[in-house]
Structure 1
Amino acid sequence: MKKETKDLHVQVAEGLIKALQAGTAPWQRPWSTEGLLIPRLPYNAISGKRYQGINVLSLLLSGREDPRWLTFKQAEAAGFRVKSGEKGTLIQFVKTVQRVTKRDSGGQIILDDNHKVVTEDRPLTKAIISNAWVFNAAQIQGLGALVSLAAASKKWEPLERAEGLIKNSGATIRHLAGDEAYYDLRTDSITIPEHSQFDASDKYYATLLHELGHWTGHSSRLDRSLFNFPGSPGYAREELRAEIASMMLGDALGIGHDPGQHSAYVAAWIQLLTDSPFEIHKAATDAEKITAFLLSFDNKLAQDLENPIQQAWNPQKSAVRKFLTTGDEIFYKDKHYQITGHLKQGRIKVFEEGSGTHFIVSRTDKLYTSLLDCKLDASFCPGPLLTATEQSTGSEENQHLPNLKR
């Protein structure tokens, strides 16, 4: 009888409970950027994009040092090989909207002023959750070695980025001699010890970014309810979100991560995840929202949003073959093509929305080449392009507290 796979949030919650008890949860481990392999958090080795939400925690709990991951099909299509006997790690993709071609009352495709197909995103009545298993670079032959931070080209110093983000946020920050750092909802301000009280600048910025995570919960920002008292489940929920977001921000900005005074929350987090395993899914989703909100103030990110990790840091990029993959949506010659699956020998399943037909295309077919050209260079395409990405969803649970202390 086939063993039933536990839901991802249950697997992650159980793994985190064990890790918290051992003091090895992803956000419990301090790390610096010195000699760091870039980037630290898990990302897809083909797209260069970091995995999102609960997938980050699932992959971190695997204990792998290399942050690069691929599905079996991606590795195969790129000319790599998953080593015999290796087992994949579970991740999830959540789809909450469906992109469709707009049509007029007569059923004809609508074009814009530039004669490109007009599309719109329509919310799904029920989210579509699909599982995937990915393999770490250490499990794959042919992927090549990572480049260290020292070898990467850095035009921005990490601490300068952090300082710029903080200033651009406009947050009210008070420096006060003492040993407490906290966000005060009543005054919408952050209090933090003097810079000189920290033994390293990156610890100062890591602490301040943690408090900025709480600051995002104000009703004028992400509107998480923050009125709950120390020791309550709501307090533990908010600290969990801020700590995961702090880890993500430390990675994005390159300043590392300092877990600080998290030990006071360990017992509460264990109880929280024991009582409600799905809480980790919601916490990771909220942490992504916090991270995205704060990174909107990052000058560097604003300048190079279109530069994926792989282009900046992967010396093997020329060896990675480009290909079509499940989830790609491509508009070519006024038709909307969706890649719906993979078959053996590099063949793909394709759905053409206009005619409603499903068919199979091999890598030697002219259509495959045309669609791939569209994906790699929009100038080949007379219409918009949408490639496979992750989306996070989940009901938000607002919890409140008056003072959120580090």
Structure 2
Amino acid sequence: MSSAQKSYKKPYYEQVADKLIEQLKKGTAPFQKPWEPGNLAMPHNPVSGARYKGSNAFWLQMQEREDPRWMTYKQAQSIGAQVRKGEKGTLIQYWKFTEEKIKRDANGKPVIGADGKKVKQTTKLDKPRVFSASVFNAEQIDGLPELKKVEPRWDQHERAEKILAASAANISHDQEDRAFYSPSTDKIHLPTKEQFPTADNYYAVALHELGHWTGHPSRLDRDLTGSFGSEKYAKEELRAEISSLMVGDELGIGHDPSHHAAYVNSWIKVLQDDPKEILRAARDAEAIKDYVLSSEQKKTATVQASAKKETPVSSVDEAAQRLAGSFKNPADAERFIAAVNKNVAQRVQHHYHDQEEELER
């Protein structure tokens, strides 16, 4: 091996793709393993309280640790814990698309606000910046409290049903042993609930198909033109599987991969041809999860607007929350929220748009 080969360090996306290909061949990738309700928790940082997202969440899950808690060396020290000597960290990357600067007037002097402090403003960076960090799993750290297992929510099925209903997706229970989404008719087809072994299994399948439903041009507008067995089809299934894992964990309904084993070879080929595809797939999966779960939040906002005749509470769009408060008539508030709902896909896409540009470089 030459000195140049020895010094070469694979980019983050190649490391992720290589490990995923290895796990796909073994059948141990996160979305290839069945997860019982309550037995999976997505990677999160117990110090910052944030959940890791996109490719970072998927990458950390691929490390096959039993504990979902991850943090930096300094963060561990900040809470009185200590990474054990000799432990190796796991690389993650995150993007910065904006930065906060002091606002200045035409003469270049800082603008002072009514509170006497310098006014700050957030500006979009001309070119996104990527930052790397090394994080350690709780299993590599001494001095942490014992992990508390989160029991399945008692209302997880009720919540899943509300999400399906709030989405307003056209769902027909007209199949014997198939479940699929038809882009041409914009319709989800499922077997009847009684044909599934458990309620968890039914909702996992239904929400998987709802993930495909988000790809319609009027929503997240993904390429759904691929026929079964094609590369485009495999890419869409990869996104749906990763998002299913995320949604299943969020709702506590588990994850059943048995229906999608046929795509393994196609996924391996896609990743071998273009390792960056895993970053795009994880990013899109995060957008799918956000869109699916947002239907529940939007429905709650609309109901509150009608019942209380006050500003609806919507975590989907803070601007909508403020503006809806100006409507005195609940019906007007409902129509306004409906307009926001129609355009939610554009918001979600905007959230991930800059990453697409950077990934294509």
Which interval holds the TM-score relative to the shorter structure? 0.7 to 0.9
Please list, as runs of the form range in 1=range in 2, the aligned pairs for 1:5-404 lying within 5 A after superposition.
5-34=9-38, 36=39, 40-110=41-111, 118-150=119-151, 157-299=155-297, 394-395=355-356
Structure 1 position 149, deviation (Å)? 2.4
More strand by proportion, 1 or 2? 1
Partner of 2:309: none
- Distance in 2 between the 1:300 and 1:142 partners? 41
Structure 1 position 5, deviation (Å)? 3.0
Q: Which amino acid is the alignment partner of residue 137 of structure 2?
A: N
Partner of 1:372: none
- Distance in 2 between the 1:293 and 1:279 partners? 21
User: Cα deviation per residue 1:162-189 (whole Å; 9 max; x = unaligned)?
Assistant: 1111111111101013111111111111
- Sequence identity (%): 47
Q: Which amino acid is the alignment partner of residue 159 of structure 1?
A: H
- Distance in 2 between the 1:254 and 1:305 partners? 23
> Quick one: higher RCO (CA 8 Å, sep 6+), 1 or 2?
1
Which stretch shifts more, 140-149 or 188-197? 140-149
Give the secondary-structure state (helix, strand or coil) at the position aligned to 1:44. Answer: coil
Contact 1:99 1:121 (8 Å CA) reproduced: yes
Structure 1 position 263, deviation (Å)? 1.2
User: Cα deviation per residue 1:296-315 (whole Å; 9 max; x = unaligned)?
Assistant: 12359979999xxxxxxxxx
TM-score by length of structure 1 reads 0.70
- Distance in 2 between the 1:302 and 1:103 partners? 41
Q: Which amino acid is the alignment partner of residue 167 of structure 2?
A: S
Alpha-carbon RMSD across the aligned residues, in angstroms, is 2.8
- Distance in 1 between the 2:230 and 2:119 partners? 49
User: Cα deviation per residue 1:267-316 (whole Å; 9 max; x = unaligned)?
Assistant: 1000000010000001001111111111112359979999xxxxxxxxxx
User: Cα deviation per residue 1:132-178 (whole Å; 9 max; x = unaligned)?
Assistant: 1100001111111111224x9x5x61111111111111111010131
**1:82–1:268 CA distance, 2 compared to 1 (3 A):** same
**1:97–1:29 CA distance, 2 compared to 1 (3 A):** same
- Distance in 1 between the 2:119 and 2:292 partners? 32
Report the number of matched residues: 308
User: Cα deviation per residue 1:325-377 (whole Å; 9 max; x = unaligned)?
Assistant: xxxxxxxxxxxxxxxxxxxxxxxxxxxxxxxxxxxxxxxxxxxxxxxxxxxxx
Q: Which runs of 5+ in 2 are unaligned?
A: 302-312, 316-350
Give the secondary-structure state (helix, strand or coil) at the position aligned to 2:60. Answer: helix
Give the secondary-structure state (helix, strand or coil) at the position aligned to 1:298. Answer: helix
More helix by proportion, 1 or 2? 2
Contact 1:93 1:391 (8 Å CA) reproduced: no
TM-score by length of structure 2 reads 0.78
4+ runs deviating over 6 angstroms = 112-116, 300-306
